[in-house]
Structure 1
Amino acid sequence: MTIFLVSPDELQLNISAFHILDTRPYVHYLEGHIPGAVWMGWDIWCEDAPIHAGSALKQPGYWGVLNDDAPEALADTLGQFGVSSERPVLIYADGPRSKGREARVAWMLLYFGLPSVSLLNGGWSTWLRQGGDIQTTISQFSYSRIRLNIQENRRVRLHQMLATMKQGSHPLFIDTRCYREYIGQIYDYQPRLGHILGAIHLPYTDFFDDEGYFVTRDAYFQRLPLEILSASQCIPYCEVGVRSCLFALLHELYTGQVIANFDGSLMEWALDETLPMEL
């Protein structure tokens, strides 16, 4: 179970081989999408924010903890999107402007145990530039059955991190947000501003080249802080565990190492005022 990249050219040649998921905002899907693509939002799979969280965090997309409490119901819902273990899934969004939507859905499906998950390299804009066909009607698909096979090594939860840290182990936190978020200059709806104490900064935009493709393996290693290669445990995060998936999956693609994503990310960490942060 790993992640793959598929180019627009490869997809055009083998489009029938994939069950395609469009993870852009639904309004953009309705305006036009890759033929056969089914819309799937990343935030519909999340838990509700805690009761003591502010009203902003209770809006869709502002709380990132994945809800996997009812595996049978999850499998049924995935089937309603046509997702099957028997057919490879290809996921796309629209490059850096989508801030990791496609990676979050890909990470989730890999966590659920799907054997073949791919990302469209370059996303929607590149598909258009290369003359890909456009469909404006909602895609029809068959209901599928899927059995989940949870891959716990792909996810790290807050209570697990705190237990490990209490035993004296200190992971390297990787903040994949933009620099102004990292130093606490924007988004004051967050419980606290700044970053997790000691976290290094590796913005998600570093994972794309100027044309919206994912960076090559060589470019990835050129941009990778040396601390990551020597760390015994790396934990990527962002605001709600979406942009952090870009790092986790590209790192896996280019090194073969599975990195666990902190899906609760800064929203969950900052909500607990006892946990250390800095500007």
Structure 2
Amino acid sequence: MDPLMDVAGLKTRLAEGLRTVLLDVRWALGDPHGHDHYLSGHLPGAVFVDLSTELAAPAVPERGRHPLPEAADFQAAARRWGIRNGDVVVAYDDSGNMAAARAWWMLRNAGLPDVYLLDGGLAAWRAAGLPLEAGHVRVEPGDVTLTDGNMPVLDAAAAATWPDSGLLLDARAGERYRGEVEPVDPRAGHIPGAVSAPTSDNVDKAGRFLSEGELRRRFELLGVRDGTPVAVYCGSGVTAAHQVAALEVAGFRAALYPGSFSEWSNNPELPVATGAEAGGGPPPGGNIAGHEGSVRL
């Protein structure tokens, strides 16, 4: 299913009065003022989602900086946002959906089928000359029933062996992958065998996703092929969700390593590589479930 909804499509839904839950996921590494940005102007009717407290459990070294919350906690949050069973949900942010993709992935993983990213996010809405509203939006609590395990997930053990027969993409900036700089995690570098694939290359200068064809060519150059087991990680499992969405646009299904490098680098028993590794993907074929370690489909 296409994970994207464009501004025109959302405008039409709202104009026709079709029930649509809007989630504003304003968050960026190093910027703790997402809620303030939301209060100053957001899509009409949008509910603020706090990534650090509603889309993540408290940080612990053995699980990374943004561990996935317990299923019951996430369901309670989704109900606070007003989501009901059968709703269409559209998430956005003001950073090319780098944060909003976390909400998209988590809701999809929780079994909600009709959840989308607003392509281009808040910037695209503004560029279309559409109105914003300020202040806090209060909604009636929803009754959505969520499940778990509806998207492919892997743990550190599976990530360690993934490059042996699949393609492991590192969605962080290239300089972090190479170990030239590491602003937040205890060790610099990347998971051995991973291929550098910065999430920023998924979007154009306006923050809109590249076209299906452009994304497919991008990932094919990185070694992705039909039938290739693909997994993605980043620093803490946030922007990697954006990569999963981009791969889906391109026609590929990918697993997410939620703990990502923040979990991996906190375990001194796990190796870290630095520098640029040769790219190139594995031969076509393979099966996610065939990898060692814990992999949930």
Task: State the TM-score, normalized to the length of structure 1.
Answer: 0.86
Does residue 234 (structure 1) correspond to residue 267 (structure 2)? The answer is no
Match of 1:33 among 21, 42, 48: 42
Within 2, Cα distance between the matches of 1:126 and 1:111? 26
Give the CA deviation at 1:148: 1.4
Residue of structure 2 equivalent to 1:72: 72
Residue of structure 2 equivalent to 1:182: 177
Q: 1:75 aligns to what SS in structure 2?
A: helix
Gaps in structure 1 of 5+ consecutive residues: none
Within 2, Cα distance between the matches of 1:94 and 1:76? 25
Gaps in structure 2 of 5+ consecutive residues: 27-33, 275-297
Within 1, Cα distance between the matches of 2:178 and 2:104? 29
Match of 1:246 among 224, 242, 249: 242
Question: Which string of whole-angstrom CA distances, capped at 9 and with x for unpartnered residues, describes residues 252-272 of structure 1?
Answer: 2331x4312111100001111
Give the CA deviation at 1:11: 1.4
Within 1, Cα distance between the matches of 2:202 and 2:57? 28
Give the CA deviation at 1:193: 0.3
Distance 1:130 1:185, change over 3 A: same
AA of the residue aligned to 2:100: E
Residue of structure 2 equivalent to 1:6: 5
Does residue 129 (structure 1) correspond to residue 127 (structure 2)? The answer is yes
Residue of structure 2 equivalent to 1:21: 23
- Contact conserved, 2:3 with 2:117, CA < 8 A, in 1? yes
Residue of structure 2 equivalent to 1:196: 191
Within 1, Cα distance between the matches of 2:138 and 2:218? 41
- Contact conserved, 1:154 with 1:259, CA < 8 A, in 2? yes
Q: 1:278 aligns to what SS in structure 2?
A: coil
Report matched runs for 1:1-279 at 5 Å: 2-15=1-14, 16-17=17-18, 18-24=20-26, 25-44=34-53, 45-50=55-60, 63-68=65-70, 71-96=71-96, 100-161=98-159, 165=161, 170-224=165-219, 225-229=221-225, 232-255=228-251, 257-279=252-274
Within 2, Cα distance between the matches of 1:104 and 1:72? 17
Within 2, Cα distance between the matches of 1:274 and 1:152? 30
Q: 1:246 aligns to what SS in structure 2?
A: helix
Within 2, Cα distance between the matches of 1:43 and 1:3? 27
Question: Which string of whole-angstrom CA distances, capped at 9 and with x for unpartnered residues, describes residues 185-240 of structure 1?
Answer: 22343121011111111111111012221100111122223412267322111101
Q: 2:50 aligns to what SS in structure 1?
A: coil
Within 2, Cα distance between the matches of 1:216 and 1:150? 30
Q: 1:244 aligns to what SS in structure 2?
A: helix
Within 1, Cα distance between the matches of 2:233 and 2:159? 12
Task: State the TM-score, normalized to the length of structure 2.
Answer: 0.81
AA of the residue aligned to 2:145: R
Count residues in correspondence: 262
Give the CA deviation at 1:135: 0.5
- Contact conserved, 2:203 with 2:209, CA < 8 A, in 1? yes
- Contact conserved, 1:36 with 1:139, CA < 8 A, in 2? yes
- Contact conserved, 2:213 with 2:250, CA < 8 A, in 1? no
- Contact conserved, 1:85 with 1:115, CA < 8 A, in 2? no
Q: 2:265 aligns to what SS in structure 1?
A: helix
Q: 2:240 aligns to what SS in structure 1?
A: helix
- Contact conserved, 2:231 with 2:257, CA < 8 A, in 1? yes
Alignment root-mean-square deviation, CA: 2.3
- Greater shift, 146-155 or 13-22, is seen at 146-155
What is the aligned-residue identity percentage? 26
Distance 1:28 1:245, change over 3 A: same
Distance 1:85 1:259, change over 3 A: farther
Question: Which string of whole-angstrom CA distances, capped at 9 and with x for unpartnered residues, describes residues 93-117 of structure 1?
Answer: 1244x6x101111001111111200
- Greater shift, 186-195 or 260-269, is seen at 186-195
